[in-house]
Structure 1
């Protein structure tokens, strides 16, 4: 009995110690919700992928895709001089599109630093441009009232101590060749470099609202949390900027405080993502086309309706959208992206209330056919997005007694509750006693996706 008690006590101590090890910092669920409150309210942000790869104008991973040598790739660094770079114009575009925050690549996989780092010569201040583009960007976006975020790639294809792995441009075909290729490379040196740069980013530019770290790929010839010292890196981040919001790509999702939100990339989720059965904060990152960096000849661009549905559907499932632009080598946002942002802005000007502060509608509200619902819990308003415009009758199932007033959101014009219109067999088919029928004008309003605002009792 005594032995069993000792064993039990040992197990409890072990479990307690293990639990302690799985915590980056102490924060209650309420404190986390308050820290993320601005982000879950704002819902829509701009992602910006910009580096020397914009000179190649054919994908941000051009060095990997085309197996370029470092010597060849250096031409983009030597000639990087974005003379038309005006971050104030970028910020105004983002704001006009209805975006509330922005995240920019301070360093992508290529290893080029968009800021004046003391720890590398591979930085923008050593290019013909010669200035700290990140400093200019931060000032411009803050001036427009936008929250700022820094993307930082933990992958680095330029640093001499970063070991070659399976996603590296120099990745060999045979496993046996890794050891020879990595001779003399020291990840300890690289880990210190990362922390030194992170310290610069989180101390030189004032309050940083968001940090987007990218990315882990554990397994054979890969890199995970131990390779990055993810726990140490996150402890540093939390110490330097306690209010910052951080994504989930450091391979420490089992650590409390190791991440704040999850990041489905380039696809629409089927339902609100969960972790251990619990709904979690999430944001989908998306491109207008098939590339993150500027790609001159890329033609697979999403149309306006696709982009609006992406935003609406994400909010309808409790999520955010981070929509990417890839500026050119001269520092301008691609004309196609400018056009797309303008169209989104036209819609958001009149319908942003159905996005900001909104989330998934309560389960009691049935989603009408060809529609998407969002809900504002503060104002108690339900928003019905008419993805395919109906013909005259629009039935809301089980809504009798729940509605105070109904209107179109874009112009606050009343939508009347009436009996279902039509004659003959099937005219009233499917209508139940507790359903409500709305009389919709035959002519679709001059809005890409009209929104019905239901003011609830």
Structure 2
């Protein structure tokens, strides 16, 4: 039994309607091609890391092609990293020379915003609260300089108040220079003390003022939960929740699973631990069945192209969503009473979603012969396989009928039995669409 979370404000309702989005991690680390945290993992100095800015030339970054690939995959929004933890800006910021505008004369945020709107999708902007390049950002457990012999002494000359003003100035540019922004993804508050270093708290960002700025300048925008303050949604990362997400009071919340294709967000050339398309489809279905969104990441390479392996994954997802998208877009958890009624009789590997008067059975494993749906005999007016729109025969189980020879039996009164073909449909996850009778 999976209830639904409280709805967002009407102007934000697109988010839970969309259910599926594309995350794009792109920056100087894409040239290094060994994880977006390469500056921290390898403890590079700002001077060492600056060599990537000298050579980073995203000549193959094609915003229109990227957005079309997302749209063809069934995604409804795109979230771009405007600045990751290395501080390098992908837009024409007026408060820093550490940007693609200064090195290559481009504004990738503008390019993506134009492409997203041209394709009718929603625009999301990711912005890191961390900045390992800025001289006033204090060293902490994540900072590349954390193990320097004089690391604590270096902090004596750093001033987070000055950094906060810089941070707020850059966020203001993003919220005022690119038209309507539908989603603001901040990343990230880390309050735990580790390795002799204090954590970073909401106060370090003046998070209340930052959130107020978003509400003032882009009141329709959905904001995530990583400012150290409650946002409009929560963002579990790199794991699939085993049930709908709840807040500390136990109340259901809007949530979004943030997932990579291979465990790295930025381009990681030698990381070939890719999730196969069947797993990605099952993750998408699982997420929506629990009332969540799936934000799936690609990391363009050092020239800005989507790697062939990522393109293949998006294409495979697109083939499935082309046929089954209506079980995802605009869908959510099945009605709690209906789900509770049918659950005892379902075979293993059936995941439910619902969209208005349509109930969807996603069959992770293909059963032989029949699916028995208890309590639905008088509530269903038509049943079909969604991939090809072919009707499935149904029958009502006679509760007095005992199982004998070729006659199934033993199902309680009110059970609707679906008669399946022996051969499983040739799709990643077959879906059965039930047309419910609103009057029943």
Q: Please indicate, yes or no, whether the TM-score normalized by the shorter chain is above 0.5.
A: yes
Distance 1:93 1:200 in 2: 28
Instruction: Give the structure 2 partner of residue 266 of structure 1.
Output: 238
Q: Which moved more, 1:436-445 or 1:98-107?
A: 436-445
| Contact in 1 for aligned 2:188/2:227 (Cα 8 Å) | yes
Mapping 1:39-50, distance limit 5 Å: 39-50=15-26
Instruction: Give the structure 2 partner of residue 414 of structure 1.
Output: 391
Q: Which moved more, 1:334-343 or 1:267-276?
A: 267-276
Q: Which of 439, 444, 447 is the matching residue for 2:419? A: 439
Question: What do residues 342-392 of structure 1 show as CA deviations (whole Å, max 9, x unaligned)?
Answer: 00000000100100111111222234221100011xx31100001111111
Seen in structure 2, the aligned counterparts of structure 1 residues 314 and 30 have a Cα distance that, compared at 3 Å, is: closer
Q: Which of 182, 186, 199 is the matching residue for 2:172? A: 199
Instruction: Give the structure 2 partner of residue 162 of structure 1.
Output: 137
Distance 2:402 2:428 in 1: 27
Pair 1:316 & 2:289 matched: yes
Query: How far is the alpha carbon of 1:31 from its aligned partner?
Result: 8.8
Query: How far is the alpha carbon of 1:398 from its aligned partner?
Result: 2.4
Pair 1:302 & 2:279 matched: no
User: What SS does the corresponding residue of 1:218 show, helix, strand or coil?
Assistant: coil
Seen in structure 2, the aligned counterparts of structure 1 residues 415 and 227 have a Cα distance that, compared at 3 Å, is: same
| Contact in 1 for aligned 2:164/2:206 (Cα 8 Å) | yes
Report the TM-score when normalising by structure 2: 0.91
Distance 2:235 2:406 in 1: 46
Instruction: Give the structure 2 partner of residue 371 of structure 1.
Output: 350
User: What SS does the corresponding residue of 1:199 show, helix, strand or coil?
Assistant: helix
User: What SS does the corresponding residue of 1:279 show, helix, strand or coil?
Assistant: coil
Distance 1:31 1:442 in 2: 41
Distance 2:387 2:269 in 1: 36
Query: How far is the alpha carbon of 1:424 from its aligned partner?
Result: 5.1
Query: How far is the alpha carbon of 1:102 from its aligned partner?
Result: 0.4
Instruction: Give the structure 2 partner of residue 390 of structure 1.
Output: 367
Pair 1:67 & 2:36 matched: no
Distance 1:319 1:30 in 2: 12
Mapping 1:315-394, distance limit 5 Å: 315-364=288-337, 365=339, 366-367=342-343, 368=346, 369-376=348-355, 379-394=356-371
Query: How far is the alpha carbon of 1:67 from its aligned partner?
Result: 1.7
User: What SS does the corresponding residue of 1:75 show, helix, strand or coil?
Assistant: helix
| Contact in 1 for aligned 2:402/2:409 (Cα 8 Å) | no
Seen in structure 2, the aligned counterparts of structure 1 residues 89 and 211 have a Cα distance that, compared at 3 Å, is: same
Count of residue pairs the alignment pairs up = 419
Instruction: Give the structure 2 partner of residue 125 of structure 1.
Output: 101
Report the TM-score when normalising by structure 1: 0.88
Instruction: Give the structure 1 partner of residue 381 of structure 2.
Output: 404
Query: How far is the alpha carbon of 1:422 from its aligned partner?
Result: 12
Instruction: Give the structure 1 partner of residue 153 of structure 2.
Output: 180
Instruction: Give the structure 1 partner of residue 221 of structure 2.
Output: 244
Distance 1:203 1:410 in 2: 43
Seen in structure 2, the aligned counterparts of structure 1 residues 422 and 155 have a Cα distance that, compared at 3 Å, is: farther
Pair 1:149 & 2:124 matched: yes
Query: How far is the alpha carbon of 1:426 from its aligned partner?
Result: 10
| Contact in 1 for aligned 2:6/2:253 (Cα 8 Å) | no
Instruction: Give the structure 1 partner of residue 433 of structure 2.
Output: 453
Structure 2: gaps spanning 5 or more residues: none
Distance 2:191 2:426 in 1: 50
Distance 1:78 1:250 in 2: 32
